Amino acid sequence: MGHCVIQLVTGPAGSGKSTYCHIMQEHGLAMGPKHRRRIHVANLDPAAEHFRYDVAFDVRDLISVDDVMDELQLGPNGSLVYCMEYLLQNMDWLEENLDNYDDDECVILYLIIDCPGQIELYTHIPVMNKIIDQLRMWGYNHKMVSVFVVDATFVTDPAKFISGSLLALSAMISMQLPHVNVLSKCDLVEEASMDRVLEMESALQLWDVLGGDRASSDGGSILSSSPFRNQLQPPIENSTKQNSSTARRNNRERRWNRLTEAICSLLDDYSMVGFIPLNINDEDSISHVLATVDHAIQYGEDLEVRGADYDDDVGGEVE
């Protein structure tokens, strides 16, 4: 095995995983050979339809959701699970493809894998975790990092904010890898807000900046806009019923608020979910994300040891 780093890119549907992979590939090319890494992108999502990156290898060459839906008459979710379990039974396919790209002792292979985002594949049917375990057994332990991509626009909606943060936390816990949350689509966020976002460290601070308003001491608007609030409006028929239903509603609302507050405290007090903003139109932002991911996996720390593999006098070309 050569020198290899693997980024596993996950995140909810449409969050920008494929775009992230594409942007990182372009960035790697723009950095040139001096940067001493060769970025390849592979697709491990059997349901992928379109992506713009040059694909190193593609799980759809082994099996695809479309084929399974046609041949086995399964729905899209069942087909996805079937595909991932099929991949698990045919891991030699993945091993061969990794070997093809990981056979150069002089070049650091930087492999970015576009993964399916469905959280069920990491929790209820932990197929992805088994794939990660297999990668560990092949010697990629300490060489993998998980990148969880979340759409920046979710933070302006408290319900989406909380569910996105919990998804990120869930992915982090289940994959048990160095983990970076990337906030995609920040080009859609106002510039003034972005400047402040760069200084943010915790999820709730970020929520404040991008549209939240937790100015009041009790947690204010994030509680009053609890995701459960709309479910708490029982029908009002007469004054007696109105009193009891109002009391019931208040009671439920207090409990929901306590729950929301506890979840927010978990995320905020322990700084368990931080986000790195990504603006795909800003090279500095892309570099910052890559540097953060590199730092998470300690990429580059042993690079100097391998410096002798490179000849800077010939423009960083590998000898």
Ligand X SMILES: Nc1nc2c(ncn2[C@@H]2O[C@H](COP(=O)(O)OP(=O)(O)OP(=O)(O)O)[C@@H](O)[C@H]2O)c(=O)[nH]1
Separation of CA 237 from chain center? 47
Separation of CA 300 from chain center? 22
User: How many chain residues are in contact with ligand X, going by CB under 6 A?
Assistant: 16
316: left (phi over 0), alpha (psi -120 to 50) or beta: left
Question: Could you say which of 15, 79, 97, 285 contacts ligand X (CB under 6 A)?
Answer: 15
DSSP 54: P
Pick the stretch among 11-19, 224-232, 252-260, 294-302 that binds ligand X (CB under 6 A). 11-19
Q: Does position 169 bind ligand X by CB under 6 A?
A: no
Smallest gap from residue 28 Cβ to ligand X (A): 17
Query: From the CB of residue 126, how many other CB atoms can be counted at a distance below 10 Å?
Result: 15
Question: At 40, which helix (H) or strand (E)?
Answer: strand 37-43
Contacts to ligand X from residues 50-109, by CB under 6 A: none
Contacts to ligand X from residues 102-121, by CB under 6 A: 117
Question: Could you say which of 3, 143, 185, 214 contacts ligand X (CB under 6 A)?
Answer: 185
Smallest gap from residue 105 Cβ to ligand X (A): 33
Question: Could you say which of 80, 150, 280, 286 contacts ligand X (CB under 6 A)?
Answer: 280
Radius of gyration of the chain (CA): 23
Q: Does position 188 bind ligand X by CB under 6 A?
A: yes
Separation of CA 283 from chain center? 20
Smallest gap from residue 213 Cβ to ligand X (A): 25
Q: Does position 14 bind ligand X by CB under 6 A?
A: yes
Question: Could you say which of 17, 143, 179, 214 contacts ligand X (CB under 6 A)?
Answer: 17
Smallest gap from residue 25 Cβ to ligand X (A): 13
The token pair at 144 is 């993998």
The tokens 């949350």 sit on which residue?
A: 181
Question: Could you say which of 184, 202, 257, 285 contacts ligand X (CB under 6 A)?
Answer: 184
Name the nearest CA neighbour of 274 among 190, 186, 206.
206
Q: Which is nearer to ligand X, 16 or 36 (CB)?
A: 16
Question: At 76, which helix (H) or strand (E)?
Answer: helix 76-89
User: Could you give the CA distance from residue 85 to residue 68 in angstroms, rounded to a whole number?
Assistant: 12
Residues of this chain that bind ligand X (CB under 6 A) = 11, 13-19, 45, 48, 117, 184-185, 187-188, 280
